[in-house]
Amino acid sequence: MQAPKKEWSIEEHIELFRRQFLQLEDLNRLALPPPDLVKKPDMQRYVYNTMFRDGCLAHAPPSRYKLRVLKKLVEHLEQSVADPDEDEISDDLASCLADLLSQPQLPDSAAVQQKSYVTYSPPTSALDFVAAEPMLAPRSCTVTLLESRALLSSFGTTGLRTWEAALRLGTFLISEGGTSWVKGKNVLELGAGTGFVSILCAKHLGAKFVLATDGSGEVVDSLSENVYLNGLDQGSCIEPAVLKWGHGLVDDVLNDNEEHRVYDVVIGADVTYDQRSIVPLVATLNQFLERNSNTKVLISATIRNEETIASFIAACRKRKMVVHSIEFHNALNLELQLGFFYPTSVPISLLSISAC
């Protein structure tokens, strides 16, 4: 990924790079700061102090990832050196790289199963960079999660990593036209996984209450850890719960966890990927709409298979639900994203669903 083509200050370039680093973005998508700027000694010191110095980050990326990013940055810097007597890699960055190289590293197959801290920064319209020392404090509106980068966890679930559809949904909800969906509302998330969207709603978007549900008990246990990690008082504004989709199950989980709470909004991200889940998912959505005809449903669906999403929409309409596509064009170009980074090669649809 190329750095944005605009007249940014070096601090802004580094802030974008830092946000991608904290989200553990793929190395090929990193927007490395322009070499003519970052090779300056004070800027190298700035990068070291805010990204690589021991203790500078409360929730740092794993050392394996830090090593790969720092190697790429150092190569980037070396290619920009015209005069070795004038330009050189800082001692701090060089020493940090040597330390990381000396540490034993897990093989790829084991590393992807390890949980790591991932911090998601919002796609603000202008990067709110500040001076080096204040940058060491957590940014506003960030969500930090412990998650596995594996496609499937060791116990066979996809719910221990944050997927593109959740980041797309978060980008919409934090936008000017999206916040009204959750502000002051009781929100229930289906297939919450890591809890990214639920935590975003409870922590930053003013939701009255969020019930974050998933069909896997192991995933819900992990989700509870992420709620605590983000400083949320579990039970007061957010509660994790196991909810398996299908007829009769909604009443069971709500009666166990609720005091007659009415949900204004039901949300779900990447819950339509499996054809086999369509019927129980739609049955569950129908139960919510039968309980309260004013409930609104918001689904973020990655279109991996046109037939699967068509089946979902058809199943909703068969239940007399009204399905509309939401037009939202923000951040459709990966190179223009400023936060909640996700690849855009596969389309993601936002669907609004309501009772007839």
What pLDDT digit, counting tens, does each position of 86-103 carry? 678 899 999 999 999 999
pLDDT digits (tens, 9 = 90+) for 319-354: 999 999 999 987 667 778 899 999 988 999 999 999
Burial string for 284-296 (b: 16+ CB within 10 Å, else e) reads bbbbbbeeeeebb
* Tokens found for residue 85: 């007597």
pLDDT at 112: 67
What's residue 312's pLDDT? 97
Instruction: Specify whether the CB–CB gap between 322 and 8 falls below 8 A.
Output: no
Find, among 27, 61, 63, 33, the residue nearest to 46 by Cα.
33
- H/E run at residue 316: helix 306-318
Three-state SS at 172: helix
Four-CA torsion 223, 193, 205, 60, nearest 10 degrees:
60
Span 265-277, average pLDDT: 95
In tens, the pLDDT along 214-238 reads: 999 999 999 999 999 999 976 789 9
What is d(CA 18, CA 47) in angstroms, rounded to the nearest whole number? 8
Q: Which two tokens stand for residue 253?
A: 């989980």
pTM of the predicted model as reported, rounded to 2 decimal places: 0.90
In SS3 terms, 57-105 reads as CCCCCCHHHHHHHHHHHHHHHHHHCCCCCCCCCCHHHHHHHHHHHHCCC
Distance CA(266)–CA(120), nearest Å, equals: 22
pLDDT band at residue 59 using 50, 70 and 90 as cut-offs: very high
Give the pair of three-digit tokens for residue 220. 């819900």
